[in-house]
């Protein structure tokens, strides 16, 4: 009897142990499944997060321009392109110039205060008048920020840069030298490259410049003067790289001329005319005529930038793929 009770007890214990082990196994299976499901879900979330970042966040944080360590990101770059209604290629150079001016202006003692920024924005709002109330100004400013998708800080920065650039231009114009290197330019203007090439070959064979200019040039003013244009200082025309490299009496190769010069369209649109040029005199330090001096003053900032840009560490992260993506974003924003 005792042995039977012992066997029955052991059997109950064995069954209880087996049941516990089974429950533990089921629990481990459930936990393993839960862990696998959690890991799988986490992987899906990570994949989606990476995709979302690459598509909707990362591209806007890409650095487009770096000038001496100061960076412009894609999100701000696109804001400025939309505001100006300009092509991204144009804005690339415009913002680079802006950063260089901002960096160099303090060296010349040129700064802008918060009060001056306020005055500038108020002038823009009123169109230069004084009849705008505070309520009208605040409503105008709110609409500007909303319509252009700009923050207050963005708008004020743009305004400050505009004032700074204007002051830099005035500063340089006031100090433009009245004496400059100059060359006396003669030109024959033709309609096509073939005509210009033939004209250049004829001149190089010994035909007189004035004689041929009077016969074939399509520019009435210079044709009557035998092709004479007059004295031209450096940095005053698109011909600079040609005329200042010519020796006296040397005939240039045909040079294309665009009435509305735009580097972005050169090569895709035909020139408005072709020039054949000759320099008949040179002077390294000639007094500028009033018209020439005014031309140089109007281009004072541009002339300064040509040299100043060489002094700064400038990097662009811009290629055809980025350009296409920008154009796509700009098109999307116009429909939203």
List average pLDDT for each run of 10 residues in the chain, which is 336 residues long. Answer: 50 53 58 60 48 54 93 92 88 95 95 95 86 91 91 95 96 96 97 96 95 95 93 92 96 91 65 96 97 95 96 91 83 72
Q: Are residues 191 and 155 in the same domain?
A: no
3-state secondary structure of 67: strand
**Do 199 and 171 sit in the same domain of this protein?**
no
116 and 53 part of one domain:
no
Pairing of strands 70-73, 63-67: antiparallel
Are 198 and 222 members of one domain?
A: yes
Q: H or E stretch including 70? A: strand 70-73
The pLDDT assigned to 328 comes to 84
Which residues span the domain enclosing 56?
Answer: 1-61
Q: Which of 235, 268, 234, 240 is nearest to 255 (CA)?
A: 240
Would 336 be classed as within a structural domain? no
Instruction: Tell whether 39 is covered by a domain.
Output: yes
Same domain, 165 and 231: no
Separation between Cα atoms, residue 56 and residue 116, nearest integer Å: 37
Across 256-266, b (16+ Cβ under 10 Å) vs e yields bbeeeeeeeee
Is residue 44 one of the residues assigned to a domain?
yes
- Quick check: is 296 in a domain? no
278, 186 contact by CB (below 8 A):
yes
pLDDT of residue 82: 87
Q: Are 191 and 247 found together in one domain? A: yes
**pLDDT, position 45:** 47
- Tell whether 319 is covered by a domain: no
> Does residue 195 share a domain with residue 106?
no
| CATH assignment at residue 248 | 3.10.50.40
Instruction: For residues 126 and 222, state if they share a domain.
Output: no
- 292 inside domain: no
Q: Does 114 map to a domain?
A: yes
- Same domain assignment for residues 88 and 160: yes
**Same structural domain for residues 107 and 127?**
yes
The answer to whether position 13 is within a domain reads yes
Count of domains forming the chain = 3
């Amino acid at each position: 009897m005792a042995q039977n009770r012992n066997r029955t007890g052991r059997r109950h214990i064995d069954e209880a142990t087996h049941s516990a082990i089974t429950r533990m196994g089921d629990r481990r299976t459930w936990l393993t499944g839960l862990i696998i499901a959690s890991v799988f879900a986490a992987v899906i979330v990570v994949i989606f997060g990476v995709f979302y970042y690459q598509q909707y966040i990362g591209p806007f944080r890409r650095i487009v321009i770096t000038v001496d360590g100061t960076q412009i990101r894609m999100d701000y770059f696109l804001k400025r392109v939309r505001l100006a209604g300009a092509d991204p290629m144009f804005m690339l150079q415009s913002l680079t110039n802006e950063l260089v001016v901002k960096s160099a202006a303090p060296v010349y003692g040129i700064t802008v205060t918060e009060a001056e920024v306020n005055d500038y924005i108020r002038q823009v709002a009123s169109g230069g008048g004084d009849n705008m109330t505070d309520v009208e100004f605040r409503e105008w400013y709110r609409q500007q920020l909303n319509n252009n998708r700009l923050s207050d800080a963005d708008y004020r920065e743009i305004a400050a840069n505009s004032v700074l650039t204007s002051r830099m231009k005035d500063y340089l114009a006031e100090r433009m030298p009245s004496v400059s290197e100059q060359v006396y330019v003669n030109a024959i203007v033709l309609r096509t490259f073939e005509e210009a090439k033939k004209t250049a070959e004829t001149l190089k064979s010994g035909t007189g410049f004035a004689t041929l200019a009077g016969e074939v040039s399509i520019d009435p003013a210079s044709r009557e003067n035998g092709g004479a244009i007059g004295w031209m200082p450096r940095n005053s025309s698109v011909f600079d790289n040609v005329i200042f490299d010519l020796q006296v009496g040397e005939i240039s190769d045909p040079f294309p001329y665009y009435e509305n010069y735009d580097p972005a369209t050169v090569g895709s649109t035909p020139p408005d005319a072709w020039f054949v040029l000759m320099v008949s005199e040179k002077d390294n330090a000639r007094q500028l005529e009033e018209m020439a001096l005014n031309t140089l003053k109007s281009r004072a900032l541009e002339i300064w930038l040509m040299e100043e840009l060489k002094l700064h560490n400038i990097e662009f992260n811009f290629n055809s793929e980025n350009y296409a993506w920008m154009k796509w974003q700009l098109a999307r924003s116009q429909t939203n």
